[in-house]
């Protein structure tokens, strides 16, 4: 128990959560500022996604010879969730470097800036969820009530993972500058390798291979209940196991090296 009490990573994490007011205000403000001089504001992103996902829907439903109506919700939800997750991965290497001017000027725990960044992306994702629900209603999809429970839980798990991943990779990438470009070049092929555009069963005999891919779990826990797919307990277990590994890695790396961040950024 003492390990946890005195661990710097635990301390900073709890401190950041208690200090939620500051980073959530800054996250909200970051968004406000980003869309300040636009007329549609954050709805531009929604519109952008709607346009590209609609185009992709007609293309892929023809290629896969699927009913476009049922494919529409699958593609929209997958695409929107993927946008959030992949953006988090791509931004992670720069999460500390972007906050360099603050880290070097004011004593604050560096996790604060990770929370600020991740919460901003989370807020963007939140205003995309109505789009998924609208599409579901449009194609007469029935939504199971379990979503009221599983969606908040899924959001929480993915949010925590985004914090842990950003902190872990942010630290490594601040020290070793090759990690950022490497991750950026891996993400486009990951979109094709993750069941976002296609369904696992389309792989036939190979369908169990999708479980090698960690993104399958995070897309799964957010999407499956939202669009009325069968509840799959393995996806939730997988997501939890990954969370635990990330957490362990975070506890070790952050508590050992957090004082070096200021020299790396």
Buried b (16+ CB within 10 A) or exposed e, 211-249: eeebbbbbbbbbbbbbbebeeeeebbebbeebbeebbee
Binding flags for other proteins, 29-58, as an x/- string (CB under 8 A): x---x--xx---------------------
CA–chain centroid gap for 158, Å, is 6
Whole-angstrom distance, CA of residue 179 vs CA of residue 181: 6
Do 221 and 243 form a contact (C-beta atoms < 8 A)? no
Whole-angstrom distance, CA of residue 98 vs CA of residue 91: 10
Least separation in angstroms between residue 6's CB and other proteins is 16
**Residues of this chain, 171-190, that bind other proteins according to CB under 8 A:** 175
**Residues of this chain, 200-259, that bind other proteins according to CB under 8 A:** 259
Number of H helices, E strands in the chain: 13, 0
C-beta closer to other proteins: residue 26 or 139: 26
Name the one range near other proteins by CB under 8 A: 104-112, 125-133, 182-190, 202-210. Answer: 104-112
C-beta closer to other proteins: residue 149 or 176: 176
Binding flags for other proteins, 11-30, as an x/- string (CB under 8 A): --------x-xx--xx--x-
Q: Among residues 70, 87, 108, 213, which is the contact residue for other proteins, using CB under 8 A? A: 108
According to the binding rule CB under 8 A, does residue 106 interact with other proteins?
A: yes
Least separation in angstroms between residue 29's CB and other proteins is 7
Whole-angstrom distance, CA of residue 45 vs CA of residue 155: 20
Whole-angstrom distance, CA of residue 180 vs CA of residue 183: 5
C-beta closer to other proteins: residue 79 or 264: 264
Whole-angstrom distance, CA of residue 232 vs CA of residue 225: 9
Name the one range near other proteins by CB under 8 A: 54-62, 102-110, 144-152, 244-252. Answer: 102-110
Least separation in angstroms between residue 44's CB and other proteins is 16
**Local structure of 231: helix, strand or coil:** coil
Do 198 and 216 form a contact (C-beta atoms < 8 A)? no
First-to-last alpha carbon distance for the chain, in angstroms, is 33
- Interface residues with other proteins (CB under 8 A) are 19, 21-22, 25-26, 29, 33, 36-37, 101-108, 175, 259-260, 262-264
């Amino acid at each position: 128990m003492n390990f946890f009490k005195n661990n710097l990573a635990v301390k900073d994490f709890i401190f950041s959560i208690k200090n939620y007011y500051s980073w959530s205000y800054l996250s909200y403000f970051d968004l406000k500022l980003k869309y300040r001089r636009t007329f549609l504001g954050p709805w531009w992103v929604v519109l952008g996604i709607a346009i590209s996902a609609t185009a992709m829907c007609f293309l892929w439903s023809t290629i896969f010879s699927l009913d476009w109506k049922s494919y529409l919700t699958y593609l929209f939800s997958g695409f929107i969730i993927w946008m959030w997750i992949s953006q988090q991965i791509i931004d992670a290497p720069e999460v500390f470097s972007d906050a360099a001017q603050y880290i070097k000027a004011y004593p604050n725990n560096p996790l604060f800036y990770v929370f600020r960044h991740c919460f901003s992306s989370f807020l963007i994702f939140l205003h995309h969820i109505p789009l998924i629900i609208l599409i579901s209603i449009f194609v007469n999809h029935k939504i199971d009530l379990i979503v009221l429970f599983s969606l908040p839980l899924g959001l929480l798990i993915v949010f925590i993972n985004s914090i842990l991943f950003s902190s872990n990779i942010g630290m490594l990438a601040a020290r070793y500058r090759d990690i950022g470009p490497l991750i950026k070049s891996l993400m486009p092929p990951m979109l094709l390798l993750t069941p976002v555009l296609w369904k696992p069963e389309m792989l036939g005999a190979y369908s169990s291979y999708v479980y090698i891919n960690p993104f399958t779990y995070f897309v799964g826990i957010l999407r499956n209940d939202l669009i009325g797919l069968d509840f799959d307990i393995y996806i939730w277990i997988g997501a939890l196991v990954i969370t635990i590994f990330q957490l362990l890695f975070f506890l070790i790396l952050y508590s050992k090296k957090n004082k070096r961040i200021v020299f790396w950024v």
